[in-house]
Amino acid sequence: MSGIGNIDLKQLRVLRALLKERSLTRAASQMGMTQQAVSAQLNKLREVFQDRLFLRSRQGVVPTPLAQELEPRVKAVFDSIEQLIPPERFDPASVQGTYVISATDYAVEVVLPELVARVRQQAPGLKLIVRQFESDRLHAMLASGELDLALTFPAFAPESCQSKLLFSEYHICVAGNDSPLHERKLTIGDVAELPQLIVSPTRANLIGSADSWFASKGYGRNIVMSVPSFSAAPTCVASSDCVAFLPSRILPHPLVTPIDLEESPPCFDVIAAWHPRTDQDPLQQWVLSLLQEAFPGQA
């Protein structure tokens, strides 16, 4: 390995980009360089370390064992450099860009209006994209930067992600306005036997969030229908003999009425989730502060 005097910061930036992107093309795009310029810097790095560092593959490039060994050291170098530079004051009014959020229709109705109002007032240059919630791809989308934030429930949040409690929510059991079920108080045993509709926004199945509560009481559920959105549930309940457990914040609804129960399922949490790589990102910190402002004292 050649002396450290033969390497400069630009080459280390190229090495960091290649370790992250695993592609000369993507690394060049990230750094605003041509692919030829990145290749030239890589050749210099190979001379310094006397190692090929990256081998070509169908997907891009694969780091050699030495390059993999260097990865945490390169990160440590840039972490140290960033600590030398005083952080710039974040100014929402000057922000330009796009921020992508994944949310169920529940979060779109309950959480987003509070966030959007603040973003539009304080950062009019920031564009928001709200995507359909996909729990199976959530980790990959957050890790890759395809998503910036997910508004969801803890059960759907990847363990590798950071999260912030927004508020606690609870279910209310509802039936159509004209249902005879409103004439008396029902036990959990009564409800367990009733035909039930559940909302399954991420997977098309008949597994509901209140299943474990029924099971803990020794009951199964008579689930006969699943819909993909909370907004569809009241209409389907009103036009059938089904009951449904719906989050309190989307009620009241003109088509359904709460059923009087002797006991109800426990509360559940609504959270914001993000990838740890954006922990120190000023924009991410600002958005999270807006959510804290919108839902104060909930955590």
Q: What is the pLDDT of residues 227-241, one digit of tens each?
A: 999 999 999 999 999
For 4-84, which CATH class?
mainly alpha
The answer to whether the 4-84 and 171-266 domains have the same CATH topology is no
Q: Which two tokens mark 73?
A: 């050291």
Asked if the model's pLDDT at residue 298 lies above 60, the reply is no
- The 10s digit of each residue's pLDDT in 5-63 is 568 889 999 999 999 999 999 898 888 889 999 999 999 999 999 999 999 988 889 99
Does pLDDT of 94 surpass 50? yes
pLDDT at 4 over 60: no
Q: Please state, as a whole number, how many other Cβ atoms lie within 10 Å of the Cβ of residue 281.
A: 15
Least confident of 21-25, 87-91, 287-291: 87-91
Q: What is the helix (H) or strand (E) element at residue 59, kind and residue range?
A: none
Q: Which tokens in the block code for residue 60?
A: 């891009």
Three-class SS of residue 253? strand
| 264-279 per-position pLDDT tens digit | 999 999 999 999 989 9
Structure tokens at 259: 């059923």
> Which parts of the chain are beta strand (E)?
54-57, 60-63, 97-103, 126-132, 149-152, 162-169, 171-176, 196-199, 223-227, 243-247, 256-258, 268-274
Residue type, position 174, single letter: V
pLDDT (0 to 100) of residue 290: 98
Percent of the chain with pLDDT over 70: 96
pLDDT value for 87: 67
Q: Does domain 171-266 have CATH number 3.30.70.260?
A: no
Tell me the three state secondary structure of residue 38. helix
Class of domain 93-168+270-294: alpha beta
Q: What was the pLDDT predicted at 85? A: 72
Confidence of residue 149 (pLDDT cuts 50, 70, 90): very high
pLDDT at 126 over 70: yes
Structure tokens at 229: 């959105």
Alpha-carbon distance of 174 to 245, in angstroms, equals: 6
* 299 pLDDT more than 70: no
Q: Report the alpha-carbon distance of residue 170 to residue 167 in Å, rounded.
A: 10
Q: pLDDT tens digits for 195-222?
A: 999 998 877 789 988 999 999 999 999 9
Domain segments of the chain: what residues?
4-84, 93-168+270-294, 171-266
